Structure 1
Amino acid sequence: MRVLVTGASGFIGSKLCPALLEAGYEVRAMTRTPEKYTGVGDPVAADVSDPDTLPPVLAGIDAAYYLVHSLDSGDFVEKDAEAARAFGTAAAAAGVQRIIYLGGLGAEDEKLSAHLQSRRQVEDLLGEAGVPVTVLRAAVVVGHGGISWEITRQLVKHLPIMVAPRWVKTRTQPIALPDVIRYLVGVLQAPEAKGRVYDIGGPEILRYVDMLKRAAVIQNKRALPLFIVPLLTPRLSSGWLTLVTDVDFETSRNLIDSMTNEVVVRDGDAIRELIPGEPMGYDEAVRLALADRAAAAEAQAQADAAEENSKAAAE
């Protein structure tokens, strides 16, 4: 089976491509800059915001993973809608049999943030032209390189105390990156998952403040003193995050708007029945993310040293 992975060099896609290859699939890795792509699979150039680039990369594809979004843009809702509609149309024209999409949790009866509303809209638009869409809805994905996890890690690292808005008491259900990858591969292997929606999450429901405090303990930092400021607005929160983390303002703002929504699994039985296996706990996921970060830093240091030695030898 030939599979296209959009966002192949991103946080999820870069881990999904090797897992798909290991499972025996032929992987086409879609990226805007294939000349810079260092992952596995056959790199192909395309951009979901440019519909004319999509037909060539979708030709001959049996299933496609849609893993792109525009959270770093102020008009991300419009951009993501246009891109999803264009991708679904191109996939249908190419004869793609399935699209698999990683969306966001959140109860339908709540007033969802613009971010979560956009994720639901994308679910519908991807299938508008007739291709069945399998949706996995997740909350915070804990893994090295994930934006939400990086916010948590950097807050714990940089702050001796934390002044936080009320959203830190919102409940969420974080999931480890390896479990997300396991589910993404698993639904492709299960024909009965075609056209279905699944909630996925880890074994614990936590408040954001719980996630911060437990991450602090794991990193051998003393308990993180935290003071709740009810009047700290989303805009002020976003500006504050931009100061103490390396996440840009627009992304911070769009994510923070969603943190007022409770994002927990409503029906966890469906995915467990389809893909058996106990998901990783939060503490174990944090330790793995930190270990992966350390390994990546060590690999980069070795690469930098080798480059310096090569330059020195050339001189």
Structure 2
Amino acid sequence: MAATVLVTGASGFVGSHVCTALAQDGHDVRAMTRHPERYDGAGTPVAGDVEDRASLDAALAGTHAAYYFVHSLDSADFEDKDAQAARNFGAAAAAAEVRQIIYLGGLGADDENLSPHLRSRREVETLLGEAGVPVTTLRAAVVIGHGGISWEITRQLVDHLPAMLTPRWVKTRTQPIALVDVVRYLVGVLDHPDAIGKTFEVGGPEVLSYLAMLRRAAKVQGKRRLPTVNVPLLSPRLSSAWLALVTDVDLATARNLVDSMINEVVVHDRSIEKIVPGSTLGYDDAVRQALADRKAAAE
């Protein structure tokens, strides 16, 4: 059944693809952005800023459901900013009588050892529903797709480095997922009665270390195996400065991502497969698709 759906972060990595998929399914998509005059993606652009409650009231009026893809990883005070943004959005959604908020969060155990980034993602899950709108949360690790920050770091490290420094975090296990599968899950839980108010873990078929991801990505591209230089005492601060130096990610984002790489992020609950059945793309195929999309975008 077609619905009127608001997508925040509509011009972003995940949001832009969700807008396209929803529109293809026949939904009335409102693509929320701070600069609607610049938007050229799927759906109808609407002005909105999570720091401006009045703009949210206007954007959400008459909507059935809303996707929330907002974060401030490039800010030093991202935890406070993201918390207030989630409160604003949840309150505006409740006032507009939205029936479902769908949020993409992060994997990781619910304990005190979560990094600030992942801890903030957990807090946002709660704050979005604080005013009473049911929240469906999908928790994911690294999303493999052209334009994604984590994937771009992987791709650029493989492209730029003759050798790979190996601080301790490169051995941390993660469960990457292809962009196409994240989008399929996000669209699949829309208005699904068994998904309302629930939290699901999503991931691809393989659990890999960050170092294994780099080596596999290099192999897919026909590059020689990356030699490693073991630097076990490389601090998170130095690791993030190194990433910012050899990739185009900014220092604040690099630091927040590196801090999260100490946490194992793997799927322990596969209940999403009952809601949205279907196999997921393997890591190598996800890398091939990301590279093909990058090539197509450059043409």
| Same fold by TM-score greater than 0.5 | yes
1:30-53 Cα shifts (integer Å, max 9, x gaps) = 001011101010100111122221
Shift, 1:291, TM fit: 0.2
1:186-231 Cα shifts (integer Å, max 9, x gaps) = 0004121000000000000000000000000111110001122111
Contact between 2:165 and 2:229, CA under 8 Å: does it hold in 1?
yes
1:132-157 Cα shifts (integer Å, max 9, x gaps) = 00000000000000000000000000
Where do 5+ consecutive residues of structure 2 fail to align? none
- SS of the equivalent of 1:100 reads strand
Shift, 1:101, TM fit: 0.2
1:123 and 1:109 map into 2 onto residues whose CA distance is 15
Give the structure 2 partner of residue 291 of structure 1: 292
Structure with the higher helix share, 1 or 2: 1
1:72 corresponds, among 74, 77, 91, to: 74
- SS of the equivalent of 1:294 reads helix
2:165 and 2:143 map into 1 onto residues whose CA distance is 24
Give the structure 2 partner of residue 175 of structure 1: 177
Give the structure 1 partner of residue 129 of structure 2: 127
Q: Which amino acid aligns with 1:237?
A: S
1:156 and 1:48 map into 2 onto residues whose CA distance is 36
Shift, 1:176, TM fit: 0.1
Question: TM-score, normalised to structure 2's length?
Answer: 0.98
2:104 and 2:296 map into 1 onto residues whose CA distance is 27
Give the structure 1 partner of residue 280 of structure 2: 279
1:24 corresponds, among 23, 26, 31, to: 26
- SS of the equivalent of 2:13 reads coil
Give the structure 2 partner of residue 235 of structure 1: 237
Give the structure 2 partner of residue 112 of structure 1: 114
Larger displacement relative to structure 2 (185-194 or 238-247): 185-194
- SS of the equivalent of 2:190 reads helix
2:274 and 2:134 map into 1 onto residues whose CA distance is 21
Percentage of pairs with the same residue: 69
Give the structure 2 partner of residue 204 of structure 1: 206
Moved over 3 A (4+): none
1:220 and 1:280 map into 2 onto residues whose CA distance is 20
- SS of the equivalent of 1:65 reads strand
Question: TM-score, normalised to structure 1's length?
Answer: 0.93
Q: Which amino acid aligns with 1:286?
A: V
Q: Which amino acid aligns with 1:278?
A: S
Give the structure 2 partner of residue 82 of structure 1: 84
Structure showing greater Rg: 1
Give the structure 2 partner of residue 262 of structure 1: 264
Aligned pairs (5 A) from 1:9-48: 9-48=11-50
- SS of the equivalent of 1:163 reads strand
1:126 and 1:198 map into 2 onto residues whose CA distance is 16
Q: Which amino acid aligns with 1:150?
A: E
- SS of the equivalent of 1:101 reads strand
1:109 and 1:48 map into 2 onto residues whose CA distance is 28
Q: Which amino acid aligns with 1:123?
A: E
Shift, 1:24, TM fit: 1.6
- SS of the equivalent of 2:189 reads helix
Query: Does 2:149 match 1:147?
Result: yes
Shift, 1:108, TM fit: 1.1
Give the structure 2 partner of residue 307 of structure 1: none
Give the structure 2 partner of residue 3 of structure 1: 5
Give the structure 2 partner of residue 313 of structure 1: none
- SS of the equivalent of 1:134 reads strand
Contact between 2:7 and 2:30, CA under 8 Å: does it hold in 1?
yes
2:179 and 2:109 map into 1 onto residues whose CA distance is 22
Aligned length: 297
Shift, 1:164, TM fit: 2.3
